[in-house]
Amino acid sequence: MATGRLTIVVVERDQMRAMMIVDALREAGEDRIHVLGDETGLARRVADLQPDLVLIDLASPSRDSLEELALATGPTERPVAMFVDRSDSGLTRAAIEAGVSAYVVDGLRPERIRPILDAAIARFHMFSRMRSELAATKAALEERKVIDRAKGLVMRAKGLTEEQAYGVLRKAAMDQGKRLVDVAQALVTAAEILK
């Protein structure tokens, strides 16, 4: 992604600092840059622009403004790099918890922009993969629970072993051209209705 065709939104109130950031980004090969100097309606404006990355520069953030800015820029949808002049562990933790991909203390210096953006993008993709894997694991666990409940119902109703009950469910799924979990869910739902 470090090829120079990113759409980048820069959130910076100070016009002089914003121009320094834009110049540094252009020097790093980026040319699709939008500067937002006012944080009013930030979430909507970022959503409208659909940037690949958001860069936020704050001189001395408060915990509230930091969290608000981070959440408004959609850190689960795109990498967010935040540059601050000074911080403390509470602010760092708040930024990370809000999903900021890169939180850089000691301000923004032009020569550091490209490597920091690359790191923010890589970290964002790593966490996106982890979120996807976690969601898939949770879904698989929920499916397993439904299948286990359905097996229990079949075992009690027909006096079968767990393996036999699983075979009954599996055959029903194959006969109906459905996924095993869908057949199991239908059985569980029917059993709850009939209670």
Are 113 and 18 in a shared domain? yes
Strands 32-36 and 53-58 turn out to be: unpaired
Cα separation of 100 and 110, whole Å?
Answer: 20
Q: What is the pLDDT of residues 50-93, one digit of tens each?
A: 899 988 887 766 666 666 777 777 767 888 888 887 777 777 78
Q: Looking at the domain assignment, is residue 51 inside a domain?
A: yes
Q: In sequence order, which residues have a C-beta less than 8 Å from that of residue 126 and are 6 or more positions away?
A: none
Structure token digits, residue 193: 């209705």
Q: Out of 132, 163, 184, pick the residue that ends a domain.
A: 132
Q: What is the pLDDT of residues 11-52, one digit of tens each?
A: 888 888 889 889 888 888 888 899 988 877 888 888 888 899
Q: Looking at the domain assignment, is residue 183 inside a domain?
A: yes
Confidence bin at 103 (pLDDT 50/70/90): confident
CA 88 to chain centre: 25
Tell which residue, 158, 140, 154, has the closest CA to residue 188: 154
Q: Looking at the domain assignment, is residue 1 inside a domain?
A: no
CATH number for the domain including 170? 1.10.10.10
Q: Out of 113, 132, 151, pick the residue that ends a domain.
A: 132
Q: Looking at the domain assignment, is residue 111 inside a domain?
A: yes
Tell me which residue range forms the domain holding 170. Answer: 136-194
Q: Looking at the domain assignment, is residue 2 inside a domain?
A: no
Q: Looking at the domain assignment, is residue 67 inside a domain?
A: yes
pTM reported for the whole predicted model: 0.66
Q: Out of 132, 155, 177, pick the residue that ends a domain.
A: 132
Domain count, the chain: 2
